[in-house]
Amino acid sequence: MVTLSVIVPFYNVQTYALDTLGSLRANAREDFEFILVDDASTDGTADILRRARDEIPGVVLRRHEQNQGLATARNTGLDASRGRYVTFLDGDDWLAPGHCAGLVAAMDRLGCDFIRTDHVQCTARSRTVRRVPYGLRDVPAHPRDAILPVTRTTSVDYPYAWAGAYHRRLVDRGLLHFTDGLRTAEDRPWIWRLHREAESFAVVGLLGVFYRRGVASSLTQIGDLRQLDFIRAFDQVLEETARDPEADTLLPKAVRTYCALISHHLATMSKFEPAVARRLLDMSSAALHRMPQDILKETFDSMDTDRSARLRRLRRRPLTGAGAAA
């Protein structure tokens, strides 16, 4: 029986793939499987993964004929997985030796639907520990209790799928798959759904995921239309949260986080191509008009002056056909 499935999408990361695969080898165990999903890479990644299939115990290889994005690649891995527990890794990141065994031990000990872990952010030679924004450790809790308060960073603001492990029953309940086709922010609707609908979670003190920032091929570094999928992702968050029995309590948090993301993208707009920047303005303005206006006003009033002013100006922007249709 497979105890743990590790799902790792790859797309044009030949520079980093050997480090990633080496860390999987250092975590190999006879009851672990490593599901490698090649999302139609056009560099040497595919050859590296084919060699890994023959050299690393437990490797299962899947390949997309056309590039479909991280969300769909993770879903391909989920559909192929057999483990009692599931975790994720990105193709340019890596794990400390023994991290997977630590995840399994924590899941066995706590019996939760899912656990969340801290991680190490790696930018060039710099290393920074990023912690789950939840105070209790090694104590099972209700996931809804980690969504609020509205004005503080909470667990739904720490959306990284690879920072944790998840029980098979979440797959069976339809809670672990991602929204197909989302190219960025795919983990935002996903983490909100987990915290609204799962029954138990815990934060554990494992520190074994190394997250590589500043990769040139990463979507966070590329200013094209795929970046704007954050709007579709957070529209989904608002739509699903609005149907929740506790929508009145949870929607202000969702609106505030959406506004913070819009403000962040506006502040970094220089990285976008001019046509994409204009579309960002149009789509963001339309998004503000779609939000519950009473909650939006409260959000603006509670934000710092710079962000509030930036968003108020954007809301006054005339709606265009492209923005209104987004």
Report yes or no: 78 and 140 within 8 Å, Cβ to Cβ: no
The reply to whether 266 and 202 lie within a common domain is no
Which structural domain range is residue 228 located in? 222-324
pLDDT at 325 (0 to 100):
46
The reply to whether 25 and 82 lie within a common domain is yes
Question: Low-confidence residues of the chain, pLDDT below 50?
Answer: 221, 325
Residue ending a domain, choose from 220, 246, 281:
220
The predicted-structure confidence for 14-31, as pLDDT tens digits, reads as follows 999 999 999 999 999 999
The reply to whether 226 and 216 lie within a common domain is no
**What pTM was estimated for this model as a whole?**
0.94
The reply to whether 137 and 276 lie within a common domain is no
The reply to whether 308 and 162 lie within a common domain is no
| Residue 181 φ then ψ, to 5° | 90, -15
Residue ending a domain, choose from 220, 250, 270:
220
The reply to whether 78 and 197 lie within a common domain is yes
pLDDT at 226 (0 to 100):
87
CA–CA separation, 134 and 137 (whole Å): 8
Residue ending a domain, choose from 194, 220, 246:
220
The reply to whether 208 and 242 lie within a common domain is no
The reply to whether 213 and 232 lie within a common domain is no
Indicate the number of domains in the chain.
2
pLDDT at 214 (0 to 100):
78
The reply to whether 38 and 92 lie within a common domain is yes
The reply to whether 71 and 154 lie within a common domain is yes
CA–CA separation, 126 and 140 (whole Å): 33
pLDDT at 244 (0 to 100):
98
The reply to whether 180 and 260 lie within a common domain is no
pLDDT at 289 (0 to 100):
97
Beta partners for residue 129, in sequence order: 120
Q: Output the domain CATH number for residue 150.
A: 3.90.550.10
